[in-house]
């Protein structure tokens, strides 16, 4: 092989390596999750819609003006008895403009393996829930629902969901104003005081 051929072969090898590396980088970029884009003049939480446990779409905008407690739940967790406290809280404050929104998720310990029908039957039979229960979603990982991507990446209380029954408190304007550990009882003095304060604000 003469010098000109060797130079051409070397150039083709370098160019080919660059093209492969560039293609791999582009694939990696394409795999990144898109950022949740919220209009500047909108309350972020109200931009989301999710199916309830029966599959009917619910726009969170319908809860505008209410104080909300968002909770990712599971039926086979050590924290599952917190459903009783959430129901008691809901009954205590609902008439003052308070809602509990429960989002079953199977992200931790595979402790919510059932279908929506099975989850509904368990919650309504064992705990007689009357607050809104949504269809099962993912609250962590690559398939994380956009609502929880907002809560964990863009709300004032950033940070991953660590386990079942992590709680977020939202004020009447749709702003996230509190985040509570999964193991904290819903009826703890800390949460109750924050809810009372939020309900008293207009």
Query: Catalytic site residues?
Result: 77
Write phi, then psi, for 198 (nearest 5 degrees).
Answer: -65, -40
Closest of 159, 135, 139 to residue 147, by C-alpha: 139
The Cα angle at residue 139 between residues 137 and 141, in degrees rounded to 5? 110
71/180 Cα distance (integer angstroms): 10
Contact 175, 155 (CB under 8 A): no
Closest of 98, 104, 95, 93 to residue 127, by C-alpha: 104
Beta strand pairing call for 98-104 and 67-73: parallel
Task: Check residue 142 and report its DSSP letter.
Answer: T
Write phi, then psi, for 180 (nearest 5 degrees).
Answer: -130, 140
């Amino acid at each position: 092989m003469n010098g000109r051929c060797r130079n051409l072969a070397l150039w083709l090898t370098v160019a080919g390596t660059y093209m492969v590396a560039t293609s791999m980088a582009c694939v990696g970029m394409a795999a990144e999750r898109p950022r949740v884009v919220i209009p500047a003049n909108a309350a972020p939480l109200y931009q989301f819609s999710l199916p309830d446990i029966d599959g009917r779409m619910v726009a969170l905008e319908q809860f505008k003006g209410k104080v909300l407690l968002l909770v990712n739940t599971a039926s086979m967790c050590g924290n599952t008895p917190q459903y009783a406290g959430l129901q008691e809280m809901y009954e205590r404050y609902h008439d003052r403009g308070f809602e509990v929104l429960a989002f079953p998720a199977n992200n931790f310990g595979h402790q919510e393996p059932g279908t929506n029908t099975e989850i509904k039957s368990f919650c309504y039979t064992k705990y007689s829930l009357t607050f809104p229960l949504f269809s099962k979603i993912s609250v962590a990982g690559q398939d994380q629902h956009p609502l929880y991507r907002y809560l964990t990446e863009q709300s004032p209380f950033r940070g991953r969901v660590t386990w079942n029954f992590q709680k977020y408190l939202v004020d009447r304007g749709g702003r996230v104003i509190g985040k509570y550990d999964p193991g904290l009882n819903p009826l703890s003095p800390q949460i109750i005081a924050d809810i009372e304060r939020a309900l008293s604000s207009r």
